Chain A
Amino acid sequence: MASVTYDHVVKRFGDVVAVNDLNIHVEDKEFLVFVGPSGCGKTTSLRLLAGLEEISDGNILIGDRVVNDVPPKDRDIAMVFQSYALYPHMSVFDNMAFGLKLRKTPKADIERRVKEAADILDIGHLLDRKPKQLSGGQRQRVAVGRAIVREPAVFLFDEPLSNLDAKLRVQTRAQLTRLHQRLATTFIYVTHDQVEAMTMASRIAVMKDGILQQIDTPQKLYDDPHNVFVGGFIGSPSMNFFDATLVENNGKLEVNAGGFRLDVPEEKANEWRAHKGKEVIFGIRPEDIHSKPFVPPGILESDMRATVDVTELMGNEIFLYLMTPDEKQFIARVDPRVKTTNGDNLELAVNMANAHIFDPKTEINLLHQ
């Protein structure tokens, strides 16, 4: 049980700055997910915490202890790797017991702990097998088991689900969440998959180019992205962005995106009016664009028209690839009852309550508190 602190942590590989001035405090028992595209520094951040890489600058603390120069084995951590990294020459039991044996844990204790972990993960019947005799999902559970038996203060996960097929990934996601609740230990988890991050995390740290973009709860991250990158990265399909200008027309505030205009409702106008006359990046999520007449109640509606380019029926919803009059493409996620074909001109209702405006230069959310 321990908190984890990144205090102005920098990691350079030659001239490349992989992690740039990272500051995060992870509370005890928290489930923190690092998410970002490949090369964003998320795995490096995890490896720094594990002690597998040396930090170039700053401090890493586990609990109150600075662990910069502590070797991995003395950091009281356990890690699950993307490739699982099971020892191929050892049985499942020995794989799980290896860390305990090295720590000279009494034999009876080892057996009890391995058995407990095996029960939790439902791999009790596999203990005598070698890793190569296991399926991908079973190997993954053994790798988690190897981490559990150590009873570490912090669990580290490096993309542990990316080698599983889609169905198994969804199941395992829920299992990991349950495991976190059951063990009540700090989890730090790295993934490039924003769905994994959204579903499991108590907080998400979004990274890009070695820089922390935003750290917040999944809901806050979704509702209130700090910048264009976070807005686009969290949510699937991703947020639509348009270059636009905020103009006042007959006392009413409007978003003018060239191909279309959207009224800013009175409820929002006060907040938005501060940026009147400015060029902005207008951001709206696909799920906040509705096709009439299937408009949910209670939204701050503003109307526009667009031409249907491609429709994707998902069963419970439809993804519409739409074209503005000035040929800008965007996506809407609409009610499955909408009947439409390519080339139709649709009347759309945009929920301005969830719209965002970003500064075109800094790409920072102008409405972010």
Chain B
Amino acid sequence: MTAQRFSISMLLRYVIAILIALVVLIPLVMTVFGGLKTTGDLLSNPIRWPADHLHWENYDGILQSSSFWVQMRNSLFIMLITATGVVLLGSMPAFIFARINFPGRELCFNFFTLGLLFPLAVAILPLYISLRQMGLLDSHWGIILPQIAFGLPGTILILRGFFLALPQEIEDAAYIDGCTTFGMFRHVAIPLMRPALAAVFVLAMVGSWNAFFLPLLVLNREPLWTLPLGIMRFQGQWGTDWARILAFVSLTLIPTIIFYFFAERHIVTGLTAGAVKG
């Protein structure tokens, strides 16, 4: 009886999991295979297998072009600096707002979280003017710095929750062992927060990797372009080379997928197990 109910619930779980997997995978597969068709074939048969043969020339052409690799390098640079900056600068206030008591703490914290109300697009005009005054137009820092700033509220909000969950006795033990507040942050809190930090890092990375609007406004010279801007090259005045675009998108996915494979373990593993007798 229980075995049967168990298998039915397992079956349900599998069905749901497979459905979700399909929702995620089908567009991916269509993108990858769309890049293997000609644009004409793609437009007449979006779903079917390529009509004649696999057209590797779309991928080939992109990989051969130097601009793709320049854009890849630009995107990687901006993404890594942004994500590192967000984690580095977000974790410290999050720690303070979680573990240190001072008058006005909640006010400061709420002030930071207010930032969540303002997406980048809302502030784009004053931001553009500020960047121009600082001479950061046509520079990668003109993208990195605003991205870090707009990434902070969410990061602080998420990390503060994790820092709050750190057991008080571990903090006490660290102080008695001889830690200063920063030492406790650096030697005890941060290593224990690794899964949370990895999650926040990935969030910031994805946001930065996919960013289109800000780079579009800030970067005019093509050698500075990021990958999302590179797609524009295939959109002409008279037509769009959809097969090329899909091939291009497929290739831009690769670095993030590789990274995720490496980071997944850190994101999933709960490190606090064993901290406190459960």
Q: Is the CB of B191 within 8 A of A89?
A: yes
Q: How many angstroms from the CA of A98 to the CA of B183 in the assembled complex?
A: 11
Q: Is the CB of B192 within 8 A of A85?
A: no
Which chain B residues border A86 with CB–CB below 8 Å? 173, 274-275
Which chain A residues border B251 with CB–CB below 8 Å? none
Is B149 part of the binding interface, using a Cβ–Cβ cutoff of 8 Å? Answer: no
Q: How many angstroms from the CA of A86 to the CA of B177 in the assembled complex?
A: 11
- Name which residue of chain A comes closest to B170, CB basis: A85
Q: How many angstroms from the CA of A262 to the CA of B187 in the assembled complex?
A: 67
Which chain A residues border B167 with CB–CB below 8 Å? 83, 85
Is A235 part of the binding interface, using a Cβ–Cβ cutoff of 8 Å? Answer: no
Q: Is the CB of B275 within 8 A of A52?
A: no
Q: Which residues in chain B, 180-208, are within 8 Å of chain A measured between CB atoms?
A: 180, 183, 187-188, 191-192, 194
Is B52 part of the binding interface, using a Cβ–Cβ cutoff of 8 Å? Answer: no
Q: Which residues in chain A, 75-130, are within 8 Å of chain B measured between CB atoms?
A: 77-79, 81-89, 98-99, 102-103, 130
Return A128 CB to nearest CB of chain B, in Å.
15
Is B175 part of the binding interface, using a Cβ–Cβ cutoff of 8 Å? Answer: yes
Is B276 part of the binding interface, using a Cβ–Cβ cutoff of 8 Å? Answer: yes
- Name which residue of chain B comes closest to A73, CB basis: B178
Q: Which single member of A72, A85, A98 contacts B276 (CB below 8 Å)?
A: A85
- Name which residue of chain B comes closest to A164, CB basis: B277
Return B163 CB to nearest CB of chain A, in Å.
15
- Name which residue of chain A comes closest to B188, CB basis: A87
Q: Is the CB of B175 within 8 A of A72?
A: yes
Q: Which single member of B175, B183, B187, B272 contacts A52 (CB below 8 Å)?
A: B175
Q: Is the CB of A89 within 8 A of B271?
A: yes
Is B254 part of the binding interface, using a Cβ–Cβ cutoff of 8 Å? Answer: no
How many positions in chain A have a CB within 8 Å of any CB in the partner chain? 33
Is A132 part of the binding interface, using a Cβ–Cβ cutoff of 8 Å? Answer: yes
Is A219 part of the binding interface, using a Cβ–Cβ cutoff of 8 Å? Answer: no
- Name which residue of chain B comes closest to A147, CB basis: B176
Q: Is the CB of B273 within 8 A of A132?
A: yes
Q: Is the CB of B183 within 8 A of A89?
A: no
Which chain A residues border B173 with CB–CB below 8 Å? 79, 81, 85-87, 146
- Name which residue of chain B comes closest to A102, CB basis: B178
Q: Is the CB of B178 within 8 A of A50?
A: no
Given contacts A52-B172, A88-B271, is CB(A102)–CB(B276) below 8 Å? no
Q: How many angstroms from the CA of A272 to the CA of B137 in the assembled complex?
A: 96
Is B158 part of the binding interface, using a Cβ–Cβ cutoff of 8 Å? Answer: no
Is B169 part of the binding interface, using a Cβ–Cβ cutoff of 8 Å? Answer: yes
Return A13 CB to nearest CB of chain B, in Å.
13
Q: Mark A36-73, 1 if CB is under 8 A from B, else 0.
A: 00000000000100111000000000000000000111
Return B65 CB to nearest CB of chain A, in Å.
45
Q: How many angstroms from the CA of A83 to the CA of B171 in the assembled complex?
A: 12
Q: Is the CB of A72 within 8 A of B192?
A: no
- Name which residue of chain B comes closest to A83, CB basis: B276
Given contacts A88-B271, A132-B273, is CB(A77)–CB(B176) below 8 Å? yes
Q: Which single member of B172, B175, B191, B275 contacts A131 (CB below 8 Å)?
A: B275
Is B89 part of the binding interface, using a Cβ–Cβ cutoff of 8 Å? Answer: no
- Name which residue of chain A comes closest to B276, CB basis: A83
Which chain A residues border B175 with CB–CB below 8 Å? 51-52, 71-73
Return B32 CB to nearest CB of chain A, in Å.
39
Q: How many angstroms from the CA of A259 to the CA of B275 in the assembled complex?
A: 56
Given contacts A87-B188, A89-B191, is CB(A136)–CB(B277) below 8 Å? yes
Q: Is the CB of A81 within 8 A of B272?
A: no
Which chain A residues border B274 with CB–CB below 8 Å? 86, 88, 130-134
Is B179 part of the binding interface, using a Cβ–Cβ cutoff of 8 Å? Answer: yes
Is A342 part of the binding interface, using a Cβ–Cβ cutoff of 8 Å? Answer: no
Is A139 part of the binding interface, using a Cβ–Cβ cutoff of 8 Å? Answer: yes
Q: Is the CB of A83 within 8 A of B179?
A: no
Which chain B residues border A82 with CB–CB below 8 Å? 169
Return B173 CB to nearest CB of chain A, in Å.
4
Q: Mark B132-143, 1 if CB is under 8 A from A, else 0.
A: 000000000000
- Name which residue of chain B comes closest to A104, CB basis: B178
Q: How many angstroms from the CA of A88 to the CA of B169 in the assembled complex?
A: 12
Given contacts A73-B177, A98-B187, is CB(A85)–CB(B172) below 8 Å? yes
Is A175 part of the binding interface, using a Cβ–Cβ cutoff of 8 Å? Answer: no
Return B76 CB to nearest CB of chain A, in Å.
29
Q: Is the CB of B277 within 8 A of A139?
A: yes
Return B276 CB to nearest CB of chain A, in Å.
4
A52, A87, A103, most chain B CB atoms within 10 A = A87
Is A341 part of the binding interface, using a Cβ–Cβ cutoff of 8 Å? Answer: no
Q: Which single member of B169, B178, B180, B271 contacts A85 (CB below 8 Å)?
A: B169
Q: Is the CB of A78 within 8 A of B272?
A: no
Q: Which residues in chain A, 283-335, are within 8 Å of chain B measured between CB atoms?
A: none
9 closest Cβ pairs, A-B complex: A132-B274, A99-B177, A85-B169, A102-B178, A88-B275, A85-B173, A73-B178, A89-B191, A83-B276
B residues bordering A, Cβ < 8 Å?
Answer: 167, 169-170, 172-180, 183, 187-188, 191-192, 194, 271-277
A-B contact sample (17 more), CB < 8 A, given A79-B176, A81-B173, A131-B274: A50-B172, A51-B175, A51-B176, A71-B175, A72-B176, A73-B176, A73-B179, A83-B167, A85-B172, A87-B173, A88-B272, A88-B273, A88-B275, A89-B192, A102-B179, A132-B274, A146-B177
